[in-house]
Amino acid sequence: MRSSLAPGIWFLRAFSRDSWYRGFILLLTFLIYTCYHMSRKPISIVKSRLHQNCSEIIRPLNDTHSPNDTTWCSWSPFDQDNYKELLGAVDNAFLVAYAIGMFISGIFGERLPLRYYLSGGMLLSGLFTSLFGLGYFWNIHVLWYFVLIQIFNGLVQTTGWPSVVTCVGNWFGKGKRGFIMGIWNSHTSVGNILGSLIAGVWVSDHWGLSFVVPGVITAVMGIVTFLFLIEYPEDVDCTAPQHHDGPEENQNNAEEPGNSSYCHQEGSLETVAKCSKEPSAQPVAISFFGALMIPGVIEFSLCLLFAKLVSYTFLYWLPLYIFNVAHFSAKEAGDLSTLFDVGGIIGGILAGLISDYTNGRATTCCVMLILAAPMLFLYNRFGQNGIGSSIVMLIVCGALVNGPYALITTAVSADLGTHKSLKGNAKALSTVTAIIDGTGSIGAALGPLLAGLISPTGWNNVFYMLISADVLACLLLCRLVYKEILAWKSSLSRETGSCLALTHTR
C-alpha cells in the first residue's frame, strides 16, 4: 500500500516554476542589500567608543598616559574637543561620495551586466569596510585615512540600490508592488539591526572587528551574487512580468502624475505576458534628462531628499544621542537604537499595503510625514523618561520616518521607471532609481553633517532641524496629493454613474 504524497513535496508542487524563481530572486536581492546596509551601520555604534568620558574608566596598569590626560581612553584624532565635527566629517565623506556616485551609478547599471556590476561592488565594499576596521589593528591615528576609506566606500556602495531595484523590477509586475516591495525593503532595517548587533559585540574591546566582520560577510555575499543572480526571467525561460495595464486603459489615463502609473495599482503580480523567443531590437537606455522629465520624478526626488535627511540622521547619530542623553553604555545604546529600525520594517510594510489599497503613493507618504513631525518632538521631550516610553516611541518614530522613505525608494521608483510614457522601455528603471535615491542621498549627507554642527548647541536644536525637514518633505508632495484626490473623485463619480445606470436598466 502506497502512502499519500509527502506534505513537503505537496507544498513544493503547489507553486509554479516561475513562482519559485521569483521568490529566489526576491530573497537573494533582499540578502544583498541587507549586507550593504549592515556594512554602513558600525560607524554609528563605534562613535561612542572613539570618544569617551575617560574619568569614568579605570586606567590599565600598563597605561603610559599622563595622569592629567582626560582623553587617554579615546582614539586619536577623535580625542579632541571638536570630536563631533570630526565624526561628522567621516560620515559626510561617505555620504557625499555616495550622493555624487549615485547619479553616475544608474547610468552604468543600465549599460553593464547587473551580475558583474553588483558582485564587483559588493567585493569592493567589503574591502573598504574592512580597511576602516583595520585602522584599529594597524594603530592608525590620522583623519585622512578614515576619510579616504569612507569616500571610496561611498562610491562603491552606489552599485547596490539601482541594481537590486532594477533586478526586482525586471522580475515583478505592477500588481501589489507596494506591499511586496514594502516587505522586501525591510532589508534596510534588517541590515541596520544586524550591523548594530554585530558591531556591538566588539565595540567595547576591539572595535576594529566591528567593521572587519561585516566587511567579510559583504564580500562573501558578493561571491554568492556572482554565482546565482539572474537578471531577467527570460534568461531561465520564465515568463516576463506585465508592467502596464492594457492599451485601452493607457489611452484613458491622462499623462499627469495623479493618474500615472506610480499610483495605479490594479491587477495581479502574477499576471504576466509570455516572452517572445523571437529576436527583437534591444531598447535604448534613456538619458539623464529624459528620466528627469518623467511625471512625478522631480517631486518624489525632492521629497526623498528631506525624508532621507531625517532617516540618516537617526541612522548615524541615534546611538550617540541615547548614549549622551539617557546615559546607557555604548552597547546598550546601540541595541536600543535598533528599535528605530524595527519600526522602519513595520512602517515600510504598512506604507506599501496602504498605497496599494488606496492607489495613492503620494498621499500615503504625506500622511505619514504629517504624523512624524509631532512624534519627533514628543520623543525628544519625553522619550528618555523611561525605558518603556523610549521603546514605544522609537518604534513609532521609526515607522513614520522610514515608511515614506521605503515607499519612495522602492515601489515609487519602480513605478516611475516603468512609466507608460516610456512605451515599454524598462531600461530607464536604473536611471530613475539612481536619480531619486541620488537626490535623497544629498539629504542623507546633509542630515548627519548638520547634526554634527548643531549638536554642540543642544540636542533640542537637532530635533527642530529634523522636524523642519519633515514638514518640507510633506509640502513637496502637495501637488501630487491634489492630483490623486482628483483621480479618486473621478473614479468615485464613474462608479456612482455605473450603479445608477444599472438601476435604471432594471
pLDDT in tens, 270-326: 433 333 334 444 555 566 677 777 777 888 889 999 999 999 898 888 888 888 787
* pLDDT recorded at residue 70: 63
Mean pLDDT is lowest, of 126-140, 147-161, 198-212, 379-393, for 379-393
**Whether residue 168 has pLDDT greater than 70:** yes
Paired residues of 272 in beta bridges: 241
Most confident range, picked from 157-166, 198-207, 209-218? 209-218
Compute the distance between CA of residue 125 and CA of residue 35 in angstroms, rounded to an integer: 10
Most confident range, picked from 4-8, 85-89, 135-139? 135-139
pTM score, two decimals? 0.72
Compute the distance between CA of residue 27 and CA of residue 312 in angstroms, rounded to an integer: 25
* pLDDT recorded at residue 323: 81
Compute the distance between CA of residue 331 and CA of residue 46 in angstroms, rounded to an integer: 9
**Whether residue 499 has pLDDT greater than 80:** no
**Whether residue 171 has pLDDT greater than 90:** no
Asked if 316 and 337 count as a contact pair (C-beta separation under 8 A), the reply is no
Asked if 243 and 426 count as a contact pair (C-beta separation under 8 A), the reply is yes
pLDDT category, 494, cuts 50, 70, 90?
Answer: confident
Paired residues of 183 in beta bridges: none
Cβ-based neighbours of 87, under 8 Å, separated by 6 or more = 47, 50, 51, 78, 452
* pLDDT recorded at residue 368: 94
Among residues of the chain, what percentage have pLDDT more than 70?
Answer: 79
Element (H, E) at 240: strand 240-241
Q: Which residues of 280-291 are buried (b: 16+ CB within 10 A; e: fewer)?
A: eeeeebbeeeeb
Cβ-based neighbours of 463, under 8 Å, separated by 6 or more = 376, 377, 379, 380
Indicate the average pLDDT of the chain: 80
**Whether residue 353 has pLDDT greater than 80:** yes
Q: Which three cell numbers stand for residue 125?
A: 565594499
**Whether residue 138 has pLDDT greater than 90:** yes
The type of residue at 64 is T
Task: Please work out, in degrees rounded to the nearest 5, the angle formed at the alpha carbon of residue 23 by the alpha carbons of 294 and 166.
Answer: 25
Alpha-carbon dihedral sign for residues 174, 176, 180, 182 = positive
Cβ-based neighbours of 195, under 8 Å, separated by 6 or more = 37, 38, 39, 40, 41, 42, 45, 214
Task: Please work out, in degrees rounded to the nearest 5, the angle formed at the alpha carbon of residue 117 by the alpha carbons of 112 and 120.
Answer: 150
Segment 16-46, tens digit of pLDDT: 888 899 999 999 999 999 999 999 889 988 8
Cβ-based neighbours of 222, under 8 Å, separated by 6 or more = 118, 119, 120, 121, 122, 123, 125, 126
Q: What is the 3-state secondary structure (H, E, C) of 386-419?
A: CHHHHHHHHHHHHHHHHHHHHHHHHHHHHHHHCC
Compute the distance between CA of residue 446 and CA of residue 448 in angstroms, rounded to an integer: 6
Mean pLDDT is lowest, of 70-79, 427-436, 455-464, for 427-436
